[in-house]
Amino acid sequence: MSDFEGKVVIVTGAGNGLGRSHALAFAERGAKVVVNDLGGSVHGEGQSDAADAVVDEIKAAGGSAVANKASVSDRDGAKSIVDDALAAFGTVDIVVNNAGILRDKSFKNMTLDEFDLVIDVHLRGSAYVTRFAWPIMYEKNWGRVVLTSSTSGIFGNFGQANYGAAKMAMLGLMNVLAIEGATHNVRVNCLAPGAATRMTASVPGSTIDMSSPPPQMSPALVTPAVLYMCSEDAPSAHTIHAAGGRFSRSQTYTNEGVALGLEATYDDLTEEVAKVVDMGGAEPFDPLARRRRRG
């Protein structure tokens, strides 16, 4: 029996690309899916019935799904996604935050509105939907949350200050929620995907032909990581990279540093700075281990 049989799963931005792939995979394994998608462009403009099309696809295959067309960046809209899950299926077990937009420009040419729009959808939208679902999962001592990060945030990418800031923020949100959810079996992880989608095709310099995308860039090759992070044996506070059938993990490392005392000066620091920045003996940082030490 599938880990997902009977589970109620919310997937945001599920009308196309990665979200659609995730939604179909959960439904195929017996989950009941809320397919959320405003149906707009990669820039967040307009609306469409993309969510309905995915729901029809799931139902045609014998699955169970409902559509929601609200914007995750609107608090009432985010709440409506969870409300629709409760109305249709009675609970929420899994939230996959996938919805996103792009407004790529170099930082000196980016307007503050363009910065805010991307932050609103990626960061606030993920936080809003998760927040409305959180008490449900917390009270029943079972829940799984996936936040979609990106190498653009983890490692950086030219022209994506807004997107990169939002995507790195996912790691901070993950670390805190993983700690807070640990005692109630609510596990929170980050996905860093690589696939041919409308969004990746729109990035300046992209050579992806969406009429014939390369098979190694299929969203279906990312979805197994999402299923793993939502399974019964899922980890928590992990960042999993998935692209082209290759899966890996990135993690924060910290070194021992140097203790300069309560009268430390700039000169003291410059004398020891080589030891401060040396990562030769660095060790991985585990936020859940830190919680256990404090507990």
Catalytic residue ranges:
163
SS3 category, 186: strand
53-77 in b/e form (b: 16+ CB < 10 A) is bbbebbeeeebbbbbbbbbbbbeeb
H or E segment to which residue 194 belongs: strand 186-194
Task: Compute the radius of gyration of the chain from its Cα atoms.
Answer: 20
Identity of the residue numbered 218: S
Residue 99 and residue 10 in contact, taking contact as beta carbons nearer than 8 Å: no
Report the Cα 6 to chain-centroid distance in Å.
23
Both tokens of 197, joined, read 């989608």
